[in-house]
Structures are given as C-alpha cells and as structure tokens.
Chains A and B, each alone.
Chain A
Amino acid sequence: MVRLRLVYLARLREAFSSSGERLDLGAQDAPTLATVVATLRARGGAFERELAPGRAVRFAVNHRLARPDHPVADGDEVAIFPPVTGG
C-alpha cells in the first residue's frame, strides 16, 4: 500500500484548482513518479492536459528534486510543479 501526499505549486496549483491531495496508489509494484503522473493523467481534464508528454513538469520527493524514474514510498510527500523561475 503506497499512500502519498501530493503538493501542487504555482501554475499547476491553479490549473488543478488544488494545492494538494492524498493519493492512494494501492498495491502497485515498485511505483515511481512516472506511476503518479500516469495515475493523475488518467483522470483527464486539466491533469491530462498539464501532465501530457512533452510538457515541462518538475518533481520533488520529500523536498528533494527528483526525476520521473525516482521511486515513491508510503508516506512520501511528492510535489509537482513547473520549472522554477526565481532569482
């Protein structure tokens, strides 16, 4: 059982009309960030649009930048956001 805390930031928070949610991935074998994206994309609408292949999306797992093949584990905080634009 892998339950995650998702955090949406900046443009994605607005597009999803949500600053975050709990996501239950069930008993998937070795889930990664790509699993999370596929799960969200399957909802359609803004999730499908914003997370479509080729869209620039970045991830952090427990406050560390991570690539799509990064594994996720029960209790992780997964943030999904556009490329950063500070400075």
Chain B
Amino acid sequence: MPVRVQSEDFDAGAAIAHLRSADRGAGAIAAFIGTVRDVNDDATITGLTLEHYPGMTEAALEDIVAEAKARFDVRDALVVHRVGALLPGDQIVLVVVSSAHRASAFDACAFIMDLLKTRAPFWKKERLPDAERWVEARASDDEAAARW
C-alpha cells in the first residue's frame, strides 16, 4: 500500500528496509521525515493536533504519488502521514522513494512533499502554553510546489 493515514507512529527504518528488500533493481532510496517542532513563529509549542478530510486524504496522496511516478524514474514510493494529537519531537510524515539512481529519488521525494504541503487535506492546530491556534499556510509552500 503506497499511502497510509494513521494515528500510530511509524518505523522509517522498517519502511526503507521493505522497499530495499522488495526490489533489487533500486540503486537509490531517499527518505524524508517531518517532525513536530517545539517552537513556531516565536511561540513555544507544547503539541499539535492534525485534522484531515477522511475520504479525500488517501485519494489526494495516491494522486501525488502517481504524479511523481509519471514524472520521475521512480520504482516505488511510500507516504505515511499521521493524524491526531502529537507532541514536539514526534514524527508527522514519512516519504520514501526508490529509484535506479539518486537524482530521481531526491527529486521525487522533494516533489511529493511539496505537493503534499499544498494539496493534501491536512490541517495543524498548535497548542501553546495558554492557547490554541490553527497554523496558517505559508506562501513559501505555494512557491515550492510551483517550481515543479
């Protein structure tokens, strides 16, 4: 299964090992892990809650992976995104891409993350010591997606 949305943590090492063992033709594997920071816009973050749009989320991620496979020389790709309550240091998202050579793996991994940031229906709500606030989308994310 190339995409998963789950509340549980994930094991990046196991995911990488799976891609490696399943395909001896892959000469390169690139991985990205996004984690919860303890600071954002100069405020202390004590945690965050990730909301998504069940029904659309998986389809949106599958579309992004399919687009990456069509554009780059990708042999396989995996996306895992967590939802629910998370703490600073927790893992949020995992992207693993295998390809014959490194350039495609690096590019496809960055491409998937850039599109995920602007197209996949997830929203973060941050917890501060005395308040909560929805995270605002950044223009830099739109610019990153537009470069592809």
A residues lining the B interface (CB < 8 Å): 7, 9-11, 56, 60, 63-65, 79, 81-87
Contacts and interface: CB of A to CB of B under 8 A. Distances in A.
Interface string B51-88: 11101100110000000000000000000010000000
B119 A65 contact: yes
B54 to A, nearest CB: 10
B10 interface: no
Interface residues of B, number: 27
Contact of B123 (A56, A60, A86): A86
Interface of B: 34, 50-53, 55-56, 59-60, 81, 92-93, 113, 116-125, 134-137
A82 to B, nearest CB: 7
A84 B56 contact: no
Contact of B93 (A56, A82, A87): A87
A84 B123 contact: yes
A11 B134 contact: yes
A11 B123 contact: yes
24 contacts: A9-B51, A11-B123, A63-B59, A63-B60, A64-B59, A65-B60, A81-B53, A81-B123, A83-B118, A83-B136, A84-B122, A84-B137, A85-B124, A85-B134, A85-B135, A85-B137, A86-B50, A86-B93, A86-B122, A87-B34, A87-B81, A87-B92, A87-B113, A87-B122
A9 B135 contact: no
B65 to A, nearest CB: 14
Contacts of A9: 51, 53, 121, 123
Nearest to B34: A87
A60 B51 contact: no
B117 A86 contact: yes
